[in-house]
Structure 1
Amino acid sequence: MTFLSPRHNRTRLLPTLLATGAMLAATAGAGRAADAQASFTPAQRQEIVEIMRNALKTDPTILSDAIAALRSNANAAQQNAARSALESHRGELTAPTATDGVLGNAKGQTTVVEFYDPRCPYCRKVLPDLDRLTRENRDLRIIEKVIPVLGQPSLIASQALVAAFVQGGQEGYFRMQGVVMNDSVQPTVERMRTLATQAGLNATQLVSDMNGAKVTSILQANMELARAIGLDGTPTFVFNARQIIPGAVSYDDLKKAIAQNH
């Protein structure tokens, strides 16, 4: 078996090492049951190990290059999976449901979906930027989907927001959002009762609806869609079902992504 020198043709050596490593990993687990002709001999495996060891001693950057290549491949695979998921759920990500809060132009052609947790500090911080974006872009609509991912307090706050929508539609939802997202007190059912009163809603009805079938089904649908697109944190933004940006993001980055996915 012929191998390249570790001092030369590093661009070609890297994929060779990665491929060899993959073959060794495969033969280690399956070689005992495979055809002997398809396996390396012990002497060949030892030769491979020695060459890899010497290559890493001579040029340690090979390892960092290999790690970078593996990360790049993982990122590419993740992006491909994300694109596939977005395409599969395009309808759900480009048109609001009857129970989604919508900022901006409800009939706008540029759609951003925000998945958010009302207890998430980054979700709270980005609210003024979302308002600003919809003021500046009259063709923009931002669909808000509440997902409780931060434990029981988040679930209580999320239930209250959806119950506010069930009771008062868009207006009731945004009034409740205004008090919930600016409240520093730990969410409890009684606290939601107080905030509902502050928002001008029927507090008794809201508390009753929080654990009702309609609120539960809305939150479950939001969570199922979030899982389907591989969401792993809040906030997460989806732009015209083409691009996902997870986590905290600046006003300028949001504006740029909106322009790119118009």
Structure 2
Amino acid sequence: MRRLLAGTALALATALPAAAEMTAAEREAFRAEVRAYLLENPEVLIEAMNELEMRQQLAEAERDKAMLAEQSAAIFNDPASWVGGNPDGDITVVEFIDYRCGYCRKAWQEVDDLVEIDGNIRFVLKEFPILGEQSVLSSRFAIAVLQLHGGEAYKKAHDALLSLRSDTTPEALVRVAEDLGLEAQPILERMQTAEVTKVIEDNHRLAQTMDISGTPTFVVGGTMVRGYVPLEGMQQIVAEQRAAQEG
């Protein structure tokens, strides 16, 4: 109903200034005319709603573009975030991820395929735990592995956490570490440090600034993609962003 009213308001916007200067009787007659017209031509409402939706999408895209430009360094070049794919790729894809997010798990292999098939994508992961304490534990574990053992170990931990089917508990994380051939105790200790906490807090502040409230959220070149998109859709977005950069 809200969208319907908004569409009607847009369709009648040019008539409102004149209506404001009418007498009460003239306004009543005007309203009756408008009602009769809309009943006879309901397609006008659909046209108005389509136009309103298009304007809202354009406005949102412009806001996103401005935010990306303003936060470019924190998004693309944060030294605390893991970088994979082609470090010298011509386009960067950034993913804000929560390991307990079903759609992040659904996108996981497809994002890996996107990066591998393309071969020219620089891929950045942002730890963004928003789904409770188990999400926070998972992100702390992944960040601790990155800080202690580097990028290759982090990617293996990342994959293991996304494929984990049990609850995320300290005991489960010990098993993950052991499966990766890593000593668990130093990782568990590192998880509680200020250095790990800072990464999560910085990512949450960045997400708030960028109006990101869900996962997965992607930044692809100069555009934001909120939510899961299948592989072919992501490939199309990458192609569009490449064309925009070249233009």
Name which of 12, 18, 36 aligns with 1:17: 12
Name which of 78, 95, 101 aligns with 2:60: 78
Deviations 1:84-105 (A, max 9, x none): 111212233333x222122212
Q: Which amino acid aligns with 1:226?
A: A
Distance in 1 separating the partners of 2:117 and 2:235: 10
Name which of 146, 149, 169 aligns with 2:150: 169
Equivalence for 1:93: 75
Equivalence for 1:117: 98
Distance in 1 separating the partners of 2:90 and 2:113: 18
Q: Structure 1 vs Structure 2: percent identity of aligned residues?
A: 27
Deviations 1:71-121 (A, max 9, x none): 2222222111111111212233333x2221222122333211111111122
Equivalence for 1:244: 224
Structure 2 residue 117 is the aligned partner of structure 1 residue 136: yes
When residues 109 and 57 of structure 1 are mapped into structure 2, their CA distance, relative to the original with a 3 A threshold, is closer
RMSD: 2.6
Deviations 1:142-185 (A, max 9, x none): 00111112222212211211122122121231121122111111
Equivalence for 1:229: 210
Q: Which amino acid aligns with 2:86?
A: N
Shift of 1:233: 2.5
Gaps of 5+ in 1: 1-12, 28-37
Distance in 1 separating the partners of 2:52 and 2:89: 40
Matched ranges for 1:184-199 at <5 A = 184-199=165-180
Q: Matched residue of 1:141: which SS? A: strand
Q: Matched residue of 1:107: which SS? A: coil
Greater per-residue helix proportion: 2
Name which of 6, 26, 38 aligns with 1:56: 38
User: TM-score if structure 1 supplies the norm length?
Assistant: 0.79
- Runs of 4+ more than 4 Å apart: 13-16
Distance in 2 separating the partners of 1:133 and 1:64: 37
When residues 50 and 213 of structure 1 are mapped into structure 2, their CA distance, relative to the original with a 3 A threshold, is same
Distance in 2 separating the partners of 1:20 and 1:70: 17
User: TM-score if structure 2 supplies the norm length?
Assistant: 0.83
Structure 2 residue 160 is the aligned partner of structure 1 residue 179: yes
Q: Which amino acid aligns with 1:243?
A: T
Q: Which amino acid aligns with 2:98?
A: D
Gaps of 5+ in 2: 1-7, 243-247
Distance in 1 separating the partners of 2:133 and 2:43: 47
